[in-house]
Amino acid sequence: MAWAAGEARLRGAELVGWTIQGRPSRGAQPTPAGRRHLVGRMRIPPVGYPVSVRHSYGDAATALVAACTAADLLVVGSRGRGPLGGLVLGSVSRACLAHAPCPVVVVRPQPEQSSSRGRVVVGVDGSSHSRQALRIAADEARLRSAVLAVVHAVYWDNSGEELLTPANKQLVEWGRKLVAAELAATGVTGRPVVVQGHASEVLVRRSAHADLLVVGARGRNPVTSLLLGSTSENCLRHAHCPVMVNHTRQPKPSGRAHVVVHGVI
């Protein structure tokens, strides 16, 4: 909620806090007084920004996805209820990431950050998904008056069957050309960062000095509509800052923001 309030303030957006419970027994619908009682029990932290609180019954992910439009921003926590809750995404967050019509930000528990780091990090790999993430990251950097770090990781997985193996210097040069081409194709101004290593590890390290990490959600699994790409998945698990995931082409935001608060009833 605190992070979403800051984002809404940057955008001049409406901030909507949703709390969702399973359906009442026997299909009974709550009375208006009952709804007011439930909302009154919510422990909404003071965030210094107007919050519209809404309450509904049913499946949380289904309700949140239905509440969003392509122009919104959906903010969720990462708490899983299983024994590995600290290592995996919760089912609600995962479903929202797979099906929401708008960018989704996952905010994991982090140590208190006293001030902005003035940096937005985005990972690019030449795909259409990362190109769209680059455009969105540029918007986020402009909102924050922050530096946009455009990160590309280069790594050669030597199988032992190659006739020629590129030198590290050559890999870095290829990476620089790719980033330059992506910046030119999108019209985005950013600081190119080409680093040797696996993409997820590089992005997680860079997130330690960022206010926001933006990634695409390209998955190479046949069921990509349900699974994130491995890089996005690892970033969501281990990044040191909130992670914004985008997997569809978005229109220009209209200035609304949605946030869901877990465990407030």
One-letter amino acid identity for 57? Answer: Y
* Cα-based distances in Å from 68 to 92, 204, 245, 246: 14, 28, 15, 14
Query: What would the DSSP string read from start to end of 179-233?
Result: HHHHHHHHT---EEEEEES-HHHHHHHHHTT-SEEEEE----STTTTTS--HHHH
Q: What are the boundaries of each domain within the chain? A: 1-102+250-265, 111-249
**pTM reported for the whole predicted model:** 0.81
Question: Do the domains 111-249 and 1-102+250-265 match in fold?
Answer: yes
Average pLDDT over residues 118-147: 93
What is the DSSP pairing of strand 243-246 with strand 104-107?
antiparallel
Buried b (16+ CB within 10 A) or exposed e, 134-158: bbbbbbbbeebebebbbbbbbeeee
Contact 246, 136 (CB under 8 A): yes
Average pLDDT over residues 154-164: 63
For 222, phi then psi, to 5°, come to -55, -25
Check pLDDT > 90 for residue 164: no
The class that CATH gives domain 1-102+250-265 is alpha beta
Residue 264: per-residue pLDDT: 43
Residue 183: per-residue pLDDT: 95
Check pLDDT > 70 for residue 95: yes
- Kindly tell me the burial class for residue 12, based on how many C-beta atoms sit within 10 Å of its own C-beta (0-12, 13-18, 19 or more): exposed
Average pLDDT over residues 201-207: 94
What number does CATH give the domain 111-249?
3.40.50.620
